[in-house]
Amino acid sequence: MTKEAVTITDHRTGESYDIDLVDGALPAIALRQIKTPDDDFGLMTYDPAFSNTASCKSTITYIDGDKGILEYRGYPIEELAEKSSFLEVVHLLLHGELPSDDELAQLAGTVGENMAVDESMKKFFDGFLEDAHPMGMLISSLACLATYYPDAKNVNDPENRLQQIHRLVSKVPTLSAYAFRRNAGLSYLDPDPTQSFAANFLRLVFADDDGSYTQNPVLERVMDVLFTLHADHEQNCSTSAMRGVGSSYSDPYSSLAAAAAALYGPLHGGANEAVLRMLNEIGDKDNIPGFIEQVKDKDSKIRLMGFGHRVYKNYDPRAKIIKKLAYEVFEVQGMNPLLDIALELERIALEDNYFVDRKLYPNVDFYSGLIYQSMGFPTPMFPVLFAIGRTSGWLSQWNECLDDKDQRIARPRQLYQGSPKRSYDK
């Protein structure tokens, strides 16, 4: 049998080291034995942006970026989008298996009971300016929620963790809807525990002040699928933030606020918002070739938003599903005029060597904004919608991290490049 090990030769000293692999990966800490002279710190790896470093072992989400494969707990995303509900996916991510009918009914009941937030949170939202960005409001309200649940600090108790997870999965849609209603100058409604997760959210957002809202089953289902598609994506920027902050035993509300803050950036979950702005700025199909030339000019610093991915070097499987869903929404809500621009942009980019050579394909954010806009969400709400789905993934990853005996407080190393010691003489 072949030995699962590599041999590294240090050409500075001529010494060779056999290093056993761990699950097929090189354990970075083993490099520390490579020293010259004997009393130096030992060899480190240098990996800015963690392009080739596994920070954890995980059993939650599998991605094959070259083949465009995404699976939650082994189930292909295409099957989950077609056959399961978002709450089933929440249970799956959290517990590793699809729920039985009883387990699903129990989860739906728990979520229904936990969706409401304390009345005083409504005053908290009133404290924001009417044009405050809803993502800023969501991040702040998550941190604020920590003050209502001091027991959440007990992160080493798995039962307590589960209770906080249920609270958060349930309350994030309510907080998100309140952020929308603050911008719209509407009063804050209370959730209706008899409605589904997606229906409850849509009603909390779009209902009149008296609570009246007519559900459309197509939009309810599309919303639910969109939450599923965004539910988890292994060790991306925001999930790494969740795990990193959680590793210091911060409570999950504070850690989730940090994860949401990481998601907010335009290179991550804020990209769906940036795509819509880009499509509006392009304005007409005739302007696409000129725009593509600007993107290819490195000095312009303009990117084709909704394209490219650190992991996918193929079509993002979520983008394929979303593109199909878009047509279902347009059938109900009417065609989105920006679709033509998006389709033409995609066609031209996929034939252009700049994008082909760099394996840049549409990602999850390219078409999601068009759907959200057609459903009536204003552009600043787009990253908030991403956050509602991703909350289940962030919390499942956080839970896994706290149970992982290999994990300690996250603390990377650096290569110091600054001044050597000097004295304070001006």
Question: Which residues are at the interface with ligand CMC (CB under 6 A)?
Answer: 233, 236, 267-269, 271, 295, 303-310, 358, 360, 363-365
Give first-to-last CA distance, the chain, whole Å.
66
Please report, for residues 22, 58, 62, 195, 233, the alpha-carbon distance to residue 73 in angstroms, rounded to integers and kept in the order given.
21, 10, 7, 27, 11
Contact 53, 47 (CB under 8 A): yes
CB of 274 to ligand CMC, least distance (A): 7
Nearer to ligand CMC, 32 or 310 (CB): 310
Residue with tokens 């404290």: 127
Nearest-approach distance from CB 149 to ligand CMC, in angstroms? 29
Distances (CA, A) of 424 to 53, 416, 417, 420, 421: 39, 20, 19, 13, 10
**Given the residues 133, 232, 309, 316, the one annotated as active site:** 309
Distance of alpha carbon 398 from alpha carbon 251, whole angstroms = 10
Cβ proximity to ligand CMC, 81 vs 295, nearer residue:
295
The distance of closest approach from Cβ of residue 355 to ligand CMC in the complex, given in angstroms and rounded to an integer, is 7
In the complex, what is the shortest distance from the CB of residue 295 to ligand CMC, in angstroms, rounded to a whole number?
A: 5
Residue 319 Cα distances to 47, 361, 370, angstroms: 29, 9, 12
Integer Cα distance of 22 and 347 in angstroms: 43
Rounded-to-integer distance, Cα 253 and Cα 185, Å: 26
Supply the minimum distance, in Å, between the C-beta of residue 362 and ligand CMC: 9
Min separation Cβ 180 and ligand CMC, Å: 22
Indicate the residue among 48 and 334 with the shorter CB distance to ligand CMC: 48
DSSP string, 59-114: SSEEEETTTTEEEETTEEHHHHHHH--HHHHHHHHHHSSPPPHHHHHHHHHHHHHH
Residue 180, Cα to own-chain centre: how many angstroms?
20
Residue with smaller CB distance to ligand CMC, 145 or 276: 276
Long-range contacts of 346-350 (CB under 8 A, 24+ apart): 348/288, 348/289, 348/292, 349/292, 349/304, 349/307
Catalytic hit among 365, 403, 406, 425 = 365
Least distance between ligand CMC and beta carbon 183 (Å): 24
Residue nearest to ligand CMC (CB): 308
Sign of CA dihedral 331, 332, 335, 341: negative
Q: Which is nearer to ligand CMC, 309 or 320 (CB)?
A: 309
Query: Choosing from 64, 268, 352, 404, which is the catalytic residue?
Result: 268
Q: What does the block give as tokens for 252?
A: 């999950």
Q: Which is nearer to ligand CMC, 111 or 384 (CB)?
A: 384
Contact 246, 240 (CB under 8 A): no
What CA–CA distance (Å, rounded) separates 162 from 245? 18
Q: What are the tokens at 136?
A: 């800023």
Cα–Cα distance for residue pair 80/62, rounded to 1 Å: 14
Shortest reach from residue 190's CB to ligand CMC, in Å: 32
Closer to ligand CMC by CB, 32 or 358: give it. 358
Nearer to ligand CMC, 196 or 236 (CB): 236
Cis peptide before 337 (omega within 30 of 0): no
Half-sphere exposure of 57 (CA within 13 A, CB side): 10
If phi over 0 gives left and psi between -120 and 50 gives alpha, with beta otherwise, what is residue 372?
Answer: alpha
> Active site includes 233?
no
Catalytic residue ranges = 268, 309, 365
